[in-house]
Amino acid sequence: MMSRWRDRLFWLFVLAFSFSAGAAGRDADGTPESVEAQQSDWVEVLKHDIAAFPNTLAGNAEAAFLDRNNMAALLGAGFASVAMHNGGADDHVAEHFEKHSTFHGCTDETLNILGSSGTHGAAALLWYLFSRDSGNEVNRQCAEALQRAVTLNTISFYTLKAARHNDTPNGKSWAWPSGHTSSSFTVASVLHEFYGLKVGIPAYAAAGLVAYRMMDTGDHWASDVAFGATLGWVVGHSVARKYKSTDVARFEILPYFGNYDAPALGISLARRF
């Protein structure tokens, strides 16, 4: 009986996450985007992005990791991870989940796939390519930020895994931090930045469910999940803010430099119709 309710709860989160994706894939007036508007020259887009990749990655990394508040958050999460692992908290949590496992079979594997950085990277890249010519500026900016954020986050957590190289409760390697948790919170943070809490709340709930699953199956310690969530939050919000335009009453704020005959410095408002 309990397993039936757990499965229902899981699918409720899946539907909530689908709602988030559906909201993100619509135009400002609420209508689905046409197939024709989504078509773009994928080869040219990829060539351009590959050429710009080093500079783009460096700029995003600077925004995420050199900000004082972000550094404080990551350092705090890092010290908390050490305290949890060395102080016995990780062992207590792992023992609890070993005796009270929740997810099994299809539910477990589905969460594993949904939380994977590979799944997020593929979905972000496809959305980015389709949104280039969609005519919806918010969707285009969000897709671009999501693709960049997932890339930076994946490089970051794999680098940390290689440096730490500790084992998980079930004996697997490269435990800290949890890549599934980090990537899921990266996605949720980007969606939150662009679409607000109506999309952010179900996205965070889905990310939290992925984090719970990682501890429940013994794939990660609680400290792996805690730092992974912090890393994802930092990367997601920082990168999203670089790509999100500031707007006033749906007008985009742009710099204004005047022209040769009348030089000036200020701001201008622009809106697409």
27 occurs within a structural domain: no
270 occurs within a structural domain: no
68 occurs within a structural domain: yes
For 152-166, how does the pLDDT look when each residue is reduced to its tens digit (9 = 90+)? 999 999 999 999 999
272 occurs within a structural domain: no
7 occurs within a structural domain: yes
**Residue type at 166?**
N
- Write the CA distances from 19 to 65, 96, 127, 134, integer angstroms: 31, 33, 16, 20
Give the predicted TM-score (pTM) of the model: 0.77
**Looking at per-residue confidence, does 133 or 203 come out higher?**
203
Q: How many domains does the chain have?
A: 1
Which bin fits 105, alpha (ψ -120 to 50), beta or left (φ > 0)? Answer: left
For 56-111, how does the pLDDT look when each residue is reduced to its tens digit (9 = 90+)? 999 999 999 999 999 999 999 999 999 999 999 999 999 999 999 899 888 899 99
Would you place residue 125 in the very low, low, confident or very high pLDDT band (cuts 50, 70, 90)? confident
| Mean pLDDT, residues 222-248 taken together | 89
For 17-26, how does the pLDDT look when each residue is reduced to its tens digit (9 = 90+)? 444 444 444 4
Rounded (10°) angle between helices 137-164 and 42-65: 60
266 occurs within a structural domain: no
For 158-197, how does the pLDDT look when each residue is reduced to its tens digit (9 = 90+)? 999 999 999 999 999 999 999 999 999 999 999 999 999 9
188 occurs within a structural domain: yes
Judged against a pLDDT cut of 50, whether residue 36 lies above it is answered with no
- Domain hosting 192: range is 2-17+36-247
The mean of the pLDDT values for the chain is 81
255 occurs within a structural domain: no
- CATH code assigned at 100: 1.20.144
Rounded (10°) angle between helices 137-164 and 179-195: 160
